[in-house]
Structures are given as C-alpha cells and as structure tokens.
C-alpha cells in the first residue's frame, strides 16, 4: 500500500518532507508553550507560537525521528497529547516518529466486509509469554488454519506500567511501549495481512485512565456535565469541544492510515455523551469511511454498547449513525444463563430458554421490554438492521474478566455444554467472536490486572472490584488486580489443545468455522432464517436459507435427556446430517442417527446437551472443497 495519504495527522510532532519537525499542540489553558527537546541530554527549549484559538505551533530544524521531547506549560514538562510513542512510559517524554519510514508489504490488501469476519479477540500482554506484538506474529498461521479471518486487539494505547487490560490508556496515539511500540504494531498488522487476516483495534473514546493523564492541563478535554464509571467524560458537546472532537476523529483516521488497521471497536459508547446535532459516533464512522475510500480500502467501525440501540448500526439514510456493527451482549447473557443457570446481576433477566430463541431471531432480547434488573424498559427493536451488523460471542474479555474469579466457560459448564455453546455461536446468523483460548477450552482464568504507580489508586481499584461483584453473589476472594501473579495466571496454556477433551473441542471449532466458509446460508446478512423453540422441552431450532443455496437446519438440545422432536417439512425436502456435536470424534457418544430425514414432517432424536446440523438436498461429502480464509480475503488481483 504505497499510495500517498489523503489525510495526515497535523497535531503532535510531524516530520516535514524537507527535514525538521513541526510541533503543533492545542493548549488553550496555557499562556505560553515551549517544546523541550532532548530532556536530560543536551536539552533545548524552543517557544511555540500562538496561532489562534489556543493552538501553538513551530517548525524546528535539526530535529530527527527518534528525538525525545516534552511540552512545557505552566512551568512543567508534559508528554504530547498526540504523542506517537511513549518509549519511557506515560510519565516520560514523547518521541518523534516518522510515519513513512516503515516498509509495508501489504500492497493489494483492501480489508474485509463485516459478513466475512470471524473475529478472534486477544490481549497482547497475556497472549504469549513474551507479551509483545512481535510474539503474536508466530501464532497467526494457526489462527488462519483454524479459519479465523480477523484478530481483534484489546486496547494498545500507552497505559501505566506493563500490566493492564488497556482501558486505562492515557496516550491514545501511542502504541504501548512494553508491547513493542509503534513499529511493533505495524509489523504485527503487516504480518496479519500477509496471512489474510484483518486487524480490528479496540479504542477508548469515552474516558482516559487516571495514571499519567495530563490532558486537562492543556485544554477542556473533559466535562463536568457527565461522568463515566471510570472518571470524567470527554467533552464532545460543551464549550471548546470542536478540538476535542477533532482529537478522537483524528485518532480514528490515524490508526487506519498510519497503521493500516482494518476496523475500530469503540469501547462502551453508552458512556460517550453528546447532544450535538451530529453525534460524535456518526462523525467518526463517516470520517473513517471517507478516509478508507481514499486509501482504496474497507475499514469498519464497530460499537460496544449497553443500550440495545439499533440506531448505532442503522444506516444514516434511515436515521442511524451508520456504524458497521455493534456487539450484542444479549446473545451472550442468554446462552450463558441457559447453560450455567446463573441468575445474579443482569443474568436475572435471562432465565430459561426463551431468551436464547429471541436472541437468535430478533438481535436483542431486550428490545423495548421491561428489564427486571434495570427496573425499566430497555432497548428497541432491531430486526430491520441486517444480521451482519451484530457481533455475538459466548466469551469475551469483559464477560470472563469481569467475573470475580475470571472463570472461562470451560471452568463453569461440562464438556457437552461447551460444545453446545460453540455450535450456538458458530451456527448463529450473526458475526461470531471467539475469545483467545476458547477454541480448545482454555481453563486458565482471565483476570483483571493493573500496574499503577499510585498506592491510593491501587486501593481504589481493589475496593471498586469488590463492590462491582456484590450483586452477583459470586463466592471466593477477588484476586488482587495489582499483583503480578494475577497477570501471569491469565495467560493461556496452548499445550492443553493436544489433551483429551481439548483437542476434540478444537476439532469441533475447526469444523464449525469451516462450515461458515462453505455454506452460503451461514453468511450473515445473506440468509433468511426462522427460529422455532419449545422452552419447556428444552430445545431450539434454527432454519437458515439463502438464494441458490442449500438450506440448513440447526437444532439445539439444552436438556439433560434425549429429545424426540417433530418439525414440519412442507417442501418435502430431504435433510442430511452435516454435523453433530455428539459425534465420537468430538468426544461424544455417537447417538445421533445419520439417516436422511424426509416426509411432510421430519422426526429425529436429539442427544442430551447437543446440537445437530442438517443440510437440505443431495448429500455432500464430508471432504468437500471449502473456501479457505485466503479465498475469502480482499486482495487485489
């Protein structure tokens, strides 16, 4: 990808084509600003000139990439709010980076459509022993072989210390130094594209972390009008908010332009408060899409939201914000509650099997219905929004890590139920997301961890975690977030993938993902589907059909016993068994009958805690040629 940038980052330290660096910082709260070059070693202080509306700038000759600098304001040295690299951490100097120095090898890569995504969420710090961008690269071929089409990175903006989920980042433009910094991230993205994997980056626009956060000394980046659970909200609609909006919009364009990122996952947008005529989320999506078009690529904007608001992913011509997709927590909560029978906290709203059927059919379970947990009506109907705009999961960093003991589903339910959950996820009509290690039943917890410098902040985090879990009545002592052991316990152990039970689950994930690549009816947004269920009998059926393709019938038994099921077959189709989670090679008993089903009514037995998938029409060989992830890619020819 050698085409010139149609947009370039003007704030921060910009290397000029003819040499030198132009420094630009918005600091309306400062009387004067200087750039402090090479602090601690032959330092130089260069005043910046006030341009207008609090913008200070100056072109400085003799400054090269790799030079460290602070901005000096109010007599204090502070990192650049638009720092591209914090090599010495959040309190250290910023470093000049030339965005054009890196040699990319991904010419022809143009991104992926939402419907082609099979996402794999990972935390860079715990995904490998080394905890670096570089170390992730060696695992990309295995992810591609599994059938994954995109990796999703938890936030990598510079955070305090070396142990953090990333949601306490304070330098939104600087890739985490302990992970390998900006060039480490570039090498990972370049390598991922070489494996035909897209890269989605989790970004936090609703707040900044408390440790190393100096933004408020520069300007009114935050507002007293609203507050997030994690601190002051960003000022998107108050006085002087234009530059704050620019700050986050430029950040989105920065990641897709200078790092070739294929998609942005916007964290907790329900805590982004904006009553402007044009919401900041709509503006981010529009600017990302415009910039992506100028780069000849497809870039996605995906929201995480607690609102169940379909406007996020509804197109702008229909009154929506025009984002490409949003997470659906309801799917997770429904499946989790049905399998674990937990009813504490928000799981109180998802008891029984009816929520599973509704999540499969209607996007949201709570689409205007009253929530007992919230004690009010919640959400709005979303069936008019295409299914490929909804991302579902049975695990993710939040739903595992925000448990008191960080238990994964493999530590909560028996093996057969793990397989049933996998089938629900990968045979659903939505875009699936897999959390690292899920594919082979990782049992190590994924815990919440930090490495803050301020003892008072550490104490507050510990107290806050205990308070957060009160409504769930979970048992056990909450692991200390600050303890290094908590971090190390959260690493996956891949050797488990070869052990009994784990290797069979991995085989099931592989085959289910293969089906998503081979069966057109499983492509989100391309199929029509119908859900039938009998909650008292403990089963749900999902029929999917697509134009000029074989129909699929998936049936899920949540009961402890065999279920005898009869379903109407008005077209008198013949149905062939395509997959059963009860098959011996998936560690099952092999009870499911392989005989074709036919007649006006089809009758079959469903083994306990299992899923069966049938395919209409002529029988297909189990060795049929499939589309590989590479064939699904978007490389120019």
pLDDT value, residue 634: 36
What CATH topology corresponds to 117-348+383-509?
Answer: TIM Barrel (3.20.20)
Residues in the chain with pLDDT values less than 70: 1-5, 465-476, 619-637
Strand-pair partners of 390? 326
Q: 437-450 pLDDT, tens per residue?
A: 999 999 999 999 99
Catalytic residues: 267, 304
Q: Are 130 and 184 in contact (CB under 8 A)?
A: no
CA distance 521 to 276: 41
Q: Spell out the residues 6+ positions from residue 332 whose beta carbon is closer than 8 angstroms to its own.
A: 392, 393, 394, 395, 396, 399
pLDDT value, residue 632: 32
Calculate the average pLDDT of the chain.
Answer: 92
pLDDT value, residue 615: 96
pLDDT value, residue 3: 47
Neighbours of 334 (CB within 10 A): 27
CATH node for 12-95? 2.60.40.10
Q: Helix and strand tally (H, E) in the chain?
A: 15, 30
Here the tokens at position 551 are 């129909």
pLDDT value, residue 466: 65
pLDDT value, residue 455: 85
Map tokens 């897999």 to a residue.
434
Q: 139-185 pLDDT, tens per residue?
A: 999 999 999 999 999 999 999 999 999 999 999 999 999 999 999 99
Fold match, 12-95 / 117-348+383-509? no
pLDDT value, residue 453: 83
Please tell me the CATH superfamily of domain 520-629, with its number: Golgi alpha-mannosidase II (2.60.40.1180)
Here the tokens at position 501 are 């039970």
CA distance 581 to 420: 7
Domain ranges of the chain: 12-95, 117-348+383-509, 520-629
Neighbours of 376 (CB within 10 A): 8
Q: 29-60 pLDDT, tens per residue?
A: 999 999 999 888 788 999 999 998 899 999 99
Question: How many residues can be counted in the chain?
Answer: 637
Strand-pair partners of 435? 121
CA distance 338 to 398: 19
pLDDT value, residue 150: 98
pLDDT value, residue 478: 81
CA distance 222 to 25: 17
Q: 206-230 pLDDT, tens per residue?
A: 999 999 999 999 999 999 999 998 8
Q: Up-side HSE of residue 334: CA atoms within 13 Å toward CB?
A: 24
Q: 249-292 pLDDT, tens per residue?
A: 999 999 999 999 999 999 999 999 999 999 999 999 999 999 99
- Pick the closest to residue 397 from 126, 637, 160, 200 (CA basis): 126
């Amino acid at each position: 990808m050698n085409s010139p940038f149609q947009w370039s980052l003007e704030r921060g330290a910009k290397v000029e084509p003819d040499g030198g660096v132009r420094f630009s910082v918005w600091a309306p709260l400062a009387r004067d600003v200087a750039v402090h070059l090479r602090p601690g070693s032959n330092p130089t202080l260069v005043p910046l000139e006030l341009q207008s509306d609090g913008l200070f700038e100056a072109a400085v000759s003799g400054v090269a990439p790799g030079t460290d600098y602070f901005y000096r304001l109010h007599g204090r040295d502070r990192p650049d709010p638009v720092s591209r690299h914090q090599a010495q951490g959040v309190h250290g100097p910023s470093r000049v980076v030339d965005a054009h120095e890196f040699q990319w090898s991904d010419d022809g890569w143009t991104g992926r459509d939402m419907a082609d995504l099979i996402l794999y969420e990972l935390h860079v710090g715990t995904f490998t022993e080394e905890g670096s961008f570089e170390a992730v690269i060696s695992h990309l071929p295995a992810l591609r072989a599994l059938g994954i089409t995109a990796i999703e990175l938890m936030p990598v903006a510079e955070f305090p210390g070396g142990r953090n989920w990333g949601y306490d980042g304070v330098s939104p433009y600087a890739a985490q130094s302990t992970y390998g910094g900006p060039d480490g991230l570039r090498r990972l993205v370049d390598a991922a594209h070489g494996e035909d994997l897209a890269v989605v980056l989790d970004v936090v626009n609703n707040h900044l972390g408390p440790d190393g956060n100096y933004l408020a000394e520069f300007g009114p980046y935050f507002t007293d009008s609203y507050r997030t659970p994690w601190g002051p909200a960003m000022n998107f609609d108050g006085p002087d908010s234009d530059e704050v909006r620019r700050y986050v919009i430029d950040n989105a364009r920065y990641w897709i332009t200078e790092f070739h990122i294929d998609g942005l996952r916007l964290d907790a947008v329900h805590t982004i408060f904006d009553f402007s005529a044009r919401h900041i989320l709509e503006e981010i999506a529009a600017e990302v899409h415009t910039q992506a078009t100028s780069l000849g690529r497809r870039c996605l904007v995906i929201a995480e939201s607690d609102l169940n608001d379909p406007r996020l992913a509804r197109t702008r011509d229909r009154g929506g914000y025009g984002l490409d997709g949003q997470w659906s927590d309801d799917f997770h909560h429904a499946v989790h509650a049905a399998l674990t029978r937990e009813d504490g906290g928000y799981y109180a709203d998802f008891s029984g099997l009816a929520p599973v059927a509704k999540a499969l059919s209607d996007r949201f379970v709570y689409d205007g219905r009253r929530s007992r947990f919230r004690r009010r009506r919640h959400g709005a109907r979303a069936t008019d929004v295409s299914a490929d705009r909804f991302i579902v999961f049975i695990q993710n960093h939040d739903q595992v890590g925000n448990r008191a003991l960080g238990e994964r589903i493999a530590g909560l339910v028996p093996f057969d139920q793990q397989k049933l959950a996998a089938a629900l996820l990968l045979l659903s009509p939505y875009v699936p997301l897999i959390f690292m290690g899920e594919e082979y039943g990782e049992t190590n917890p994924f815990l919440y961890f930090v490495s803050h410098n301020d003892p008072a902040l550490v104490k507050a985090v510990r107290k806050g975690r205990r308070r957060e879990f009160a409504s769930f009545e979970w048992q056990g002592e909450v692991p200390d977030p600050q303890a290094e052991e908590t971090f190390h316990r959260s690493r996956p152990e891949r050797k488990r993938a070869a052990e009994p039970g784990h290797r069979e689950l991995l085989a099931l994930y592989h085959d289910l993902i293969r089906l998503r690549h081979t069966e057109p009816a499983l492509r989100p947004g391309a199929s029509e589907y119908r859900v039938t269920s009998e909650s008292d009998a403990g089963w749900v059926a999902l029929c999917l059909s697509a134009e000029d393709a074989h129909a699929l019938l998936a049936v899920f038994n949540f009961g402890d016993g065999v279920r005898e099921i009869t379903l109407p077959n008005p077209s008198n189709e013949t149905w062939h068994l395509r997959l059963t989670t009860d098959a011996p090679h998936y560690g099952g008993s092999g009870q499911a009958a392989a005989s074709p089903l036919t007649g006006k009514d089809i009758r079959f037995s469903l083994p306990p805690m299992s899923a069966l998938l049938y395919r209409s029409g002529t029988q297909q060989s189990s060795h049929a040629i499939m589309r590989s992830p590479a064939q699904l890619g978007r490389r120019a020819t």
